[in-house]
Chains A and B, each alone.
Chain A
């Protein structure tokens, strides 16, 4: 690996056959790139697990209580091959928990953040490499806790990913409130510790370790996204961690933070109580609303970088873009109550949260307009990476607009806890972030592994994913307007919802198609690791610093100290002889530049 680095570092310990150095190079590595790739592989594996859980719950929604094909007999021998209702709520809970805490958050911050931040700011590694390594290894206790929770008595948590007490904190409330819930909380705590370590590291690296000439306003949007995300994590996470501990204490020693006095559930006393169920919701959403931005801001940044590169044009409105993500982050701390409009929270307070929530749509809108501005007058190259980035924009528009319905408190009366919400967050999280992640993987794969992914397979995967994704999630808006509630194992015994079953069957068929399409991506990814076309340092002719380093970069990243002369978006600049003008290329002397201008 280090062979490509000219001025090799003193502590270059790349493996030469010794097993000890194999372990320190690839397992307990301190190198941000290895750690990033470790995060990438782990999260992609969990993506498969989360996806399979989703398919199982889609099966139940299409054909409730029917034998599940192939795996049913194996999984649910007790129920004769069918999904039991307590198993169904466990599926929804664990699908969401895994996707949010094991896939989306760690793939953005952990995988892309780790790999890209030092490379894009021109540093040789993170500020705190050991902390960085620990941030990956602290995911493993979390992986372990969530995995084991499936096998303890009562099964994994089935209390929704929001784990509202008393259901979640009183063990007698439901089979899935048993020990699985404690494991869930332990897992969450470790994810939090991991994120916190990452967050401190990212902030320090971005503030302290930028290459000469790399001012804050010359940072690529990806880095801005990561930076703001790290700040959000640092301020919001402690609240969730504290709340998680409080719930663990409620469960184990009966502290009753979230339990009202004298509560009896299923003929069992829930302890002395004296607490308030709504307190959990406030604490949980104080973290989890900022967390939805943690789950998208880095992807917004990546998409901005990818779109400029393949439109061969500067980013439209760089500063407004930076201000809008900062605005999203700031406002993001005073909107959490929009998840609690129907909770029994003071409706007057609801009005305040409503106004703040409606206004947060503004920075989102500004971003969309600037992305469109970026495409205007460009020369668009339809690579598979670009297509996924464009899908981000197209789908994020839908998810952002549906947010306005739910932010409007009276309308939320009708659609809260229905499939309208499910549609909303899948449009932002799958339609937005996951397409952004696909775009990012394809875009930076050559930098990670020195090979390109296959374009034809990439396009095939894109078009199928795009169609099936909309087939699964778009009809949810219609169902939600009809009142179709989420988290119901069998909604069709209600007269109001019986007619919706055929639509759900259509959606499930699309979901199966969506799942199968991902096999193309997995195949392409794995095969390209070994037989992908080899590429040089800068296959996309892009501007930012990571493309100056070898592909893959060796230990220490750059063979010479990068110096930054300009912003990252100088595509088709009149000052450059080519259609891109990398950040690290020194300007030609003034005379030559003038002559160049004459020649135009």
Chain B
């Protein structure tokens, strides 16, 4: 039976790698990236995937091999009576420690780009999350938020393509999370805090805006949309929206 059990454990690396392969080669993987910074995140993901994949394959295959070889029914060699090996311990402490430290340092720059190096500019818009919608607010002619000429919209965030965007993220009630899968952006919205979020979209289209922090019974339907369009289209849309708002007043 030992052979059967070893083979069962061999299915772990075989299916493990296989499923990732299948996911990657199909469309079931990191969603299409349309942001300027996204490729660094995807690169890190893939880099860690390769490293951990190798460790996964290595350890799981060794596990299989030991199970296969040292089965009591077939292994006639005497047991290795040992309590360990000082040298091996050193090797398998230092090597992973160095690798892990490298991973830690290697990613710092990408993190700083997305969360620390805030662009020096006025906010493009303010997004206020509330149960269960996204309220969007653009500064009007005066270029300043929270004034009388602000332009309001709900659940559909329009932005111009290839331009630096700075969103001022707030929440009116409970925690929410501003998640743009296609732009590799995720940030909690916290009542009482104003959190800046910045990105640059590189392709026109409409993308999902997901609430990724549990916010109550209607959390699942707190769905918004991101519309990325040319500067001209965006300006026209903004003007139209303002027009509509005026007529309503």
Contacts and interface: CB of A to CB of B under 8 A. Distances in A.
Given A314-B82, A377-B70, A410-B40, A499 B27 contact: yes
A380 B186 contact: no
B149 interface: no
A246 interface: no
A39 B12 CA distance: 33
A409 B104 CA distance: 9
A152 to B, nearest CB: 16
A463 to B, nearest CB: 7
A174 B97 CA distance: 46
Interface residues of A, number: 114
Contacts of B9: 390, 394
Interface in B8-34: 8-9, 12, 15-16, 19-20, 23, 27-31
A485 B28 contact: no
Contacts of B89: 317, 320, 366
Nearest to A478: B23
Interface stretch (A117-125, A356-364, A590-598): A356-364
Given A173-B174, A414-B45, A347 B116 contact: yes
B120 interface: no
A417 B217 contact: no
Nearest to B9: A394
B1 A466 contact: no
A347 B111 contact: yes
A167 B175 contact: yes
B216 interface: yes
Contacts of B195: 344
Nearest to B5: A382
A313 B192 contact: no
Contacts of B191: 166, 260, 263, 277
B219 A344 contact: no
Interface string A63-81: 0000000000000000000
B122 interface: no
B174 A166 contact: yes
A161 to B, nearest CB: 10
B148 interface: no
Interface string B167-199: 000001111010101101111101111010000
B219 A488 contact: yes
Contacts of A176: 217
A278 B190 contact: yes
Contact of A411 (B44, B81, B214): B44
A382 B2 contact: yes
A359 B216 CA distance: 35
Contacts of A572: 78-79, 81
B163 interface: no
B239 interface: no
Given A266-B131, A348-B116, A379-B79, A487 B60 contact: no
Contact of B45 (A177, A362, A481): A481
A418 B114 contact: no
Contacts of A413: 41, 114, 184-186
Contact of A496 (B16, B177, B208, B215): B208
A359 B104 contact: yes
A277 B82 CA distance: 53
A170 B111 CA distance: 33
A354 B72 contact: no
Contact of B48 (A164, A319, A408): A408
B154 interface: no
Given A89-B219, A317-B89, 17 more contacts: A164-B213, A166-B174, A173-B216, A260-B191, A263-B173, A348-B116, A350-B115, A361-B96, A390-B67, A394-B60, A413-B184, A482-B29, A485-B212, A489-B220, A490-B221, A500-B28, A574-B81
21 contacts: A88-B220, A160-B214, A164-B213, A173-B173, A260-B193, A261-B192, A342-B186, A344-B188, A347-B112, A354-B104, A365-B55, A373-B85, A390-B63, A401-B55, A409-B111, A411-B48, A413-B185, A414-B186, A417-B177, A466-B8, A478-B23
